[in-house]
Structure formats: structure tokens, C-alpha cells
Structure 1
């Protein structure tokens, strides 16, 4: 039997409560033994949802939780600016860390965080949960197998991040440079950008336009970007928190076919003669398309 890992949750907001629920219901080899928040109301909220048990120790200071020796790992789910200092303290005390994204709001803070981690043999990761969905894993495998041939272009539209003005008003740090570090690009869209990185590797060049069009906030709520990959093909990217109902769509066009993902469904349009160039196949036989669904 695998040894259970004792976990402490630092931050009991919406995401922190979500992590507790996931650990309780879906991760049997982990045990939530401690929780922390500076706001007493958060404990009552979590308790009212049945997420806290009498066995879970409660702390108002992350330092006291980490120093308690109750945990082998912590999940850091606080406002963004606090991720580095909490994670670094945990590393120095010998605890594994899962940090919510982003790990920091400045490059220098992120670099310091990574330097401290590299001094240890501990586990460290950030929460990019879209890598764990079956359709995105299938796309990754499909690309690794080269079934689309040479990639020609990618288009990604991710507008299912609708946020109302009330969302920003409920937490005063949201949508502010000091409290959040940025808006859409640092809070919601990193999930989508991480998928692009995971599927296609680092970018060679990026040009982008960001704007604040839909909310009364300091930071951006819309981004349009043109990305040139190191392999040479272009990626067009659009995202916003001001559109309803919103879409989550990706088109990946290659020399042997096209993959289209719409939400959690994906279809692959390939050519019967996979070795032929797309242009030749189109002109010689328009009926050779196959529709294959995952």
C-alpha cells in the first residue's frame, strides 16, 4: 500500500476549497490534515460545505502551519503575490509544494522561487489542470505520433472565461496590478497558453495587443496575440473574460490533416493517402476526407 501524504491547504478561497474537495474525493493517497487562512469567515464557509473535519488543524498563519510538522506537502492557493514567499518558506522547511498559478507576478520572484526549490530534492509543481483532461492528453499523443505531419498553423480561441463585474468586486485584489499582477493573462489564460507550450514547445517571437474593454478593473480583460514557434509555424491566440457564452476551440492544421477541438470534443480530419501533400490531395480527389472522433 502506498504511504499517504499529509497535505496542508494554505488559502481557503474558492480555489482552496476546490482543492480540498478534490483531495477528499479523488486522491485517496493524500490526507488533508491542516488548513490556513487569515479570514475567519473562510473557515465557516468551508465548514458549511462539509469540507472541514475535526481532524483538520486550523491556522491563521502559513508559518505556523508549515512549522507544525503536520504536513509533508502544502498547496498554496493565496492571492498571487504571496505564492513565492510561502513556497520558499515551505522549501526551506522541507515540504513539497503545489502552487496555484501563477507561481509569481514578476520574473525575478519566480526565478528566486525556482532557485530555492533547486537547492532541495523536493517536489514542486504549479496547477495547470488542463494537461490532465483526456482530450488534451489525446491531442498531445496525436501530435507526438506525427499523425498531422508538419504543422502549418494553429488557431486558439478561449472565451469561456466569462467573469462578471461582481466577480472582481467580491475580492478587491482581483483585477489590480498590486493584488493580481495582471488580469486575464495571469489568471485565466495561462491554462490555455500552457497547453500551447505543452503541445508545441517554446515560442520564438510574440506580438500581442491587450486591452481593458469589458470591466471596471485596472488590468487587461482581452488579449490578441500572434505567436511564431521555433518550428516556424504561426499560432493565433484570442482570449477574453467579457464574452458569453464563450468558446474553447483549437484548430491545428498540418500537412496530413486537421485536428479541431471544441470544448472537450475533438475531431481529426485526415487524408486517406497520408504521404501525399494536402494540396495534391485536394486538387485530385475532394472525397478522400475522413472524419474521425476521439
Structure 2
């Protein structure tokens, strides 16, 4: 195979964004050959914008069986990511899914099992893993320079969304339409980076979610979560969609100092000796280890984070390059968000791995009570800005 022939499922906002850089030749070794969407209007627009050579399909299944593609980029709404990925893998296609991996880990686990049983390359669009700030943070922690991680804190409240945003589509801010709120829509990248940068495994969590706080919506839009890790460290994650101005500050404290990402900079407060050694030998009463504040140099942030993930995925197919964002890792961040909701719904601690059946049961209760009901549209499916529903 000299080039990967790609298809896109769901040619809405995200799908069109991927189609644009693919048709501009920004991904070496990949060519867009087909798109699938339930809306004929969207398909016609795709041909007009991206070329008459595109094969169009009203059914993803038809595209999977067409023989026109080697791999597929899935850009459907959240609930459909695992379903479409499983079908594509069974059809013998390489798969790259948009984030999040899904809405609930039980379904995502089935997707991961299908990927493991295939010989295809399975990736997820965790484009923030290409951000030099978080890549360098992970490098410092992995190298041992920070020492053992003792505490993590992320305040990510700069996701401001007005009521008019939620009113743009009846599916927004509903359990049946989106399967969640800030955790499933805005925070998947941060939840992934939270566990990816540290490499820590959560042990248990207690969380407090507010639903429809200051907004007329069903889902969570204010979350405070406390997690304990297997190594004894602890962490706090705070997020919302109604604070203005918001904050985005990620802080990791370790045995040899503290790392902070904020305002586009990475700062390392580096101890000259480990806290453990200082505490063992210091006899002066009041005192603390000598600390240097270091502005850590990182590569210049560049546009095209999405296309870099797609390039890495195409290279993995053609050259065997290691994936930066393996699809099977999508379950990690999702389990954190599922745990936050489950802890709130049960008003109790949640142990890891979570009770996936219980979460699914609680989620289905809210979907049944949801104000959003999928109404038939073109081809018997709902059409929205995201593409296939």
C-alpha cells in the first residue's frame, strides 16, 4: 500500500475540518476518497467543497463494504463512535475515531476488544497530545526528574457556554442527545492528559456534579472531583461552563518540585534535593528545600494538531510507526468522567475500575427521562451539525 484511502463518516463540522486538510494534501500517504452521511445535503456540499472525485454514501455500512477505502475517520455524535468503529473493524478497515471514545466505558470496552481481535490500526483524535507543553510535562515526569508524583490539580473553567449555545440544537445539553455535559463535550482532552502526563492509576474517586447550574439544560456543567491514586497521591479536577472569566491551570506536585501549565507556559519549580532527603536530614526547625523557578523551553506550538494525529495514524498503517494516541487508551479518560457522574448519582465513593453495569443503568434512567427525543429526518435519521446521527 502506497497510500491509505480514507473515508469519513459524518461530514458535519468536524468531518469537514478533517476533509479540508486531507484534500489539501497535508497528510502524506493519505487520500480522501469517500464520505458517508445520512444527509444528502451534506453529501452534496462535501462534493462541491472537496471534489467531484469523492464517492458518497448515505450509509456507513455501504461505504465499509465498497472496497473504495482502507481506513475510516469516524466523526459522528458520541454515542455512535464505538458502534461505527466496531463495524468498520469487522469490515477489515483501519479506524481513527474522534474524541470521546464513547459515552460509557461498557460500550468502549467492546470496541477495544474488537480492535484487539483485528490486525488493524486503531487510533483516537487526542490531538492535545501533540501540544508541546503537555508533551514536555509528560517527558519530565517520565524521566523521573520530578520524582514521585504526590498531587495533581487541574482547574479548567474557561469553557464558557451561554444559554444560546445550548439552544442552537435540541440535542445539546440533553442526556439522550449528547450523553452528558462538560465532561463528555468539553473535557475529554483534559481528562486524557490528566492521566497520560502522570501515568498514575486512580484507586478511588469522590465527585460532586451539578446539573443545569445557571443554565436550562439536563446535564452536568459544574464538577469538582477528588481522586486518590494507587501510589498514595491525590488529585482534584474542577470544571464548569458558566464562569467568566475562567481559569485553565494544571499543576503537578512531586518529590522534587512542581510543574505548572498556565497561560501557554510550562514552569518547573525545581528542588535542588528531593523533599524526602531534605526532610530526613534537615534539623533546623523551620525551613524548606532550595527551589529554582525555571521557565521550561518547549517547541513552538503549531496549528494543525488534528492533522498531526492523522499523519501519525497514516504512518502507523504504512510504516509501522508507534501511535501517539492509540484508540484503546480512550477508555482511560472516559472512565474518569463516568466515575465522576457515578459518584454523584450514588452519593458515594467509586472504586476503579468502575461498576460499568451500574453506570450504564443510571445513564439509561436519565436518557429515558430526557426531553430530547430523536425525530426522523432524511433517511430516517436526525441531521445535525455533527453529521450522521
What's the TM-score once normalised by structure 2's chain length?
0.69
User: CA–CA distance in 1 between the matches of 2:143 and 2:12?
Assistant: 41
- For structure 1, the residue ranges without an aligned partner over 5 or more in a row are none
User: CA–CA distance in 2 between the matches of 1:169 and 1:39?
Assistant: 22
Pair 1:169–1:36, CA change in 2 (3 A): farther
How far does the alpha carbon of each residue in 1:28-60 deviate from its partner, in whole angstroms, 9 at most, with x for none? 221111112212343466567x4x112222222
Q: In the alignment, is the contact (CA less than 8 A) between 2:271 and 2:289 conserved in 1? A: no
- Identify the range of structure 1 (180-189 vs 23-32) with the bigger mean alpha-carbon deviation: 23-32
- For structure 2, the residue ranges without an aligned partner over 5 or more in a row are 298-389
User: CA–CA distance in 2 between the matches of 1:275 and 1:180?
Assistant: 45
Equivalent residue, structure 1, for 2:5: 6
Length, aligned pairs only:
291
Q: In the alignment, is the contact (CA less than 8 A) between 1:206 and 1:225 conserved in 2? A: yes
User: CA–CA distance in 1 between the matches of 2:291 and 2:185?
Assistant: 43
More helix by share: 2
Matches within 5 A, 1:86-125: 86-125=84-123
User: CA–CA distance in 2 between the matches of 1:124 and 1:171?
Assistant: 31
Q: In the alignment, is the contact (CA less than 8 A) between 1:34 and 1:58 conserved in 2? A: yes
Q: In the alignment, is the contact (CA less than 8 A) between 2:135 and 2:197 conserved in 1? A: no
SS in 2 for 1:65: helix
Provide the alpha-carbon RMSD of the alignment. Answer: 2.5
Pair 1:42–1:172, CA change in 2 (3 A): farther
User: CA–CA distance in 2 between the matches of 1:196 and 1:21?
Assistant: 30
Pair 1:258–1:283, CA change in 2 (3 A): farther
Pair 1:66–1:245, CA change in 2 (3 A): farther
Matches within 5 A, 1:1-294: 3-25=2-24, 26-43=26-43, 50=49, 52-200=50-198, 201-212=200-211, 213-273=213-273, 277=277, 283-284=286-287, 288-294=291-297
Relative contact order higher in (CA < 8 Å, ≥ 6 apart): 2
User: CA–CA distance in 2 between the matches of 1:288 and 1:216?
Assistant: 48
SS in 1 for 2:239: strand
How far does the alpha carbon of each residue in 1:202-236 deviate from its partner, in whole angstroms, 9 at most, with x for none? 21011101112132221111111001111111111
- Identify the range of structure 1 (279-288 vs 13-22) with the bigger mean alpha-carbon deviation: 279-288
